[in-house]
Structure 1
Amino acid sequence: MLMNGSAVSQFTLLGLSNSRPLQLLLFALVSACYATSLVGNLLIVVTVWVDPGFLQSPMYFFLANLSLIDMSLGSVAAPKMLRDLMSQVSTISYGGCMAQLFFLHFLGGSEMFLLTLMAYDRYVAICHPLSYPDIMRHHCCLGLLASCWAGGLLHSASQLVLVTRLPFCGPNKLDNFYCDVPQVVRLACTDTYVVEILMVANSGLISLVCFLALLGSYGVILVTLRGRFGGGEGWKALSTCSAHLMVVSLIFVPCVFVYLRPFSSSQMDKMASLFYTIITPVLNPIIYTLRNREIKDAIRRLAHKPGFRCWT
């Protein structure tokens, strides 16, 4: 069966380990992470959705969308990984591999743009508080959010075009636990130098530029907050921004590590991939809920609602 004019119709995923005890341990850990990610992010979405004040607040509106992306992003690789760890049959069809690659970059790109938008929202709220209600009106927030999703779609589509134009005629062993551009490109039976350069320009530079823009935004915010620590306002804003900055670092640092150095291959690439596909979606809701008193109070109120108690 030929795919894309090549002899490869499926790929073999080498995964993280061939040791059966370690595979079972990984299955337990990934299961716990995936379940925690789904429950934690869903709780944030429901909390924001049922609270009219949160839903009208740009910061919490964007946070709910971040949680939606995290739930979806965690579901791209984790279910397949869990099945492979239990069955020890780690294969994926060509079409399934391309679909996994597409959704990984679509959701990952959208998340990067959304985090940049969230940094802009905090910048306007802290540095230009009087203009904030006019700048971040609800319909403007919807338009900015749609731009994030559109940017993620454009980024992912360009990655998919780069990969599907390559011929694959063997070998078909992917040195990872899911399909991603760097590992798939290395299997092409043609010179991929130009493709890898384009990949760096696409994924790597997008990650780096967004990360530097975020750091610049928070640098300005810290300078603005410097004289406000005498009261509670400055500390509250700093707590919110520090939580956001922690999430940003957890996502962007592994991505920059993987996509700015596509010509190398190491076990560290697998660890970085595991971190931002499995672990980061778990840490995001934990970081935001533990460091945000308003979210914690809203979750407590939600837990005491009769309908929620019956549902749980």
Structure 2
Amino acid sequence: MANSTMVTEFLLMGFAEMLELRVLYALLFLLMYLATLLGNLIIFTATTLDQSLHTPMYFFLRNLSILDMCYISVTVPKACVNSLTDNRAISAAGCAAQIFLLFWLAVTELLFLTIMACDRYVAICRPLHYPVIMNQRICIQMTLVSLLSGLIYAGVHTGNTFRLSFCMSNVVRQFFCDIPSLLRISCSDTFSNELLIIISAMGIGGSCFIFITMSYSRIFSTVLKFQSRERGKAFSTCVPHILVVSIFLSFGSYVYVRPSTSSDTILDMIFSVFYSIVPPLLNPIIYSLRNKQVKDAVRKIVSRKFYSGKS
């Protein structure tokens, strides 16, 4: 057991061994990363500079864009560098930091998506009370509570994971550090860790899913009473939101909630892409390409820059 506490670095898995395939995967990840940064930066800029978008919905969308840029930056740049250089090592401190940041941002993102469902419910089902319920003070308070909750959640799980001893191996069967992969290589009793993950997933993930489902059920029952044009507008806002939440929760639950003894490395890595990379990539596509107000704001900003440049 003396050697079990001497692990100072871990080795991450890659998607392929051949150099050509490693370069291909790195370029694919890099393109997805740059597209995510660009899309979220456009949304952040548009919702910041256009005064007509200074509403609660776009306040949370602006915060979600910042969160998505940070969230994808925790895993993808390191994965690209590792794939190109074939240097898969990550220090124990770096691994702990990656897990902490990933959990913090993931939980905060889930809470933001839940708040945005609540915002849509109030806007569609109780429009007369919307300015009172979703005022600026409430929006800021909900944002701070979400960030603090994610911080506590990440701290508890990261601390609980790195109190374990690692003596079986230092190979993390994932392209980034995550808790299920570390539990599989621990020589300590991981029952309490797995139990905590399940309780947390059911408590936070389950509660958010139920709240979102109830919000959209009431939204859809209200929307069915609208005229066809207004109905289509409401559905176009809500359905993509449900899609992102479903992808985020379903793939994340599969990787984290199932027993650590059952393992399919390639499948785990593919599923991890769907909860760590796809949601931040989808959010700007959904909210910019499908949202007329955001597109109009982007056009105004671009035309303003163009005319100022010509003058």
Query: Which TM-score tier does this pair reach, normalised by the shorter chain?
Result: over 0.9
Superposed CA RMSD in Å reads 1.8
Match for residue 72 of structure 2?
74
The answer for the alignment partner of 1:141 in structure 2 is 139
**Structure 1 residue 126 displacement after superposition:** 0.9
Matched position secondary structure for 1:130 = helix
Note if 1:247 corresponds to 2:247. Answer: no
Q: C-alpha offsets along residues 270-297 of structure 1, whole Å, 9 cap, x if unaligned?
A: 1111122223211210111121111111
**Could you say if the C-alpha distance between residues 208 and 16 of structure 1 is closer, same or farther in structure 2, counting changes exceeding 3 Å?**
farther
* Residue matched to 1:270: 269
- 1:257 matches 2:254: yes
Query: 2:45 corresponds to which residue?
Result: 46
Aligned runs of 1:148-167 on 2, under 5 Å? 148-167=146-165
Contact 1:101/1:160 (8 A) holds in 2:
yes
Work out whether residues 205 and 260 of structure 1, in 8 Å CA contact, stay in contact via their aligned partners in 2.
Answer: no
Residue in structure 1 matched with residue 104 of structure 2 by the alignment: 106
Give the aligned length.
Answer: 306
The residue correspondences of 1:17-56 to structure 2 (distance < 5 A) are 17-55=16-54
Distance in 1, Cα, partners of 2:14 & 2:272: 11
Could you tell me which residue of structure 2 aligns to residue 123 of structure 1? 121
Q: What CA deviation, in whole Å up to 9, does each residue of 1:162-218 have, x standing for no partner?
A: 112111234100000000111112221112122111112124542233123212211
1:252 maps to a residue whose letter is: L
Give the conservation status (yes or no) of the 8 Å contact 1:81–1:178.
yes
Q: Which residue of 1 aligns with 2:12?
A: 13
Could you tell me the TM-score, scaled by structure 2's length? 0.93
Quick check: 1:8–1:170 contact (8 Å CA) kept in 2? Answer: no
CA distance in 2, matches of 1:84, 1:164: 23
Deviates further, 112-121 or 268-277: 268-277
Contact preservation (8 Å) 1:247, 1:287: no
Q: Where does structure 2 lack aligned partners over 5 or more consecutive residues?
A: none
Offset at 1:221?
A: 0.7
Residue 142 of structure 1 aligns with an amino acid whose one-letter code is: I
Matches within 5 A, 1:209-220: 209-220=207-218
**Matched letter for residue 95 of structure 1:** A
Work out the CA distance in 1 between the residues paired with 2:24 and 2:12.
18
Distance 2:194 2:307 in 1: 50
Q: 1:248 Cα shift?
A: 1.4
- The aligned residue for residue 61 of structure 1 is 59
Change (3 A) 1:10 1:303: same
> Which is further off, 127-136 or 187-196?
187-196
Q: Counterpart of 2:187?
A: 189
In 1, Cα distance between equivalents of 2:57 and 2:259: 35
**Matched position secondary structure for 2:169:** coil
Classify the secondary structure of the residue corresponding to 2:74.
helix
Counterpart-to-counterpart distance in 2, 1:287 and 1:153: 27
Q: Does 1:199 align with 2:212?
A: no
Quote how far apart the aligned CAs of 1:233 are. 2.6
TM-score by length of 1: 0.93
Unaligned runs of 5+ in 1: none
Percent identity (aligned): 38
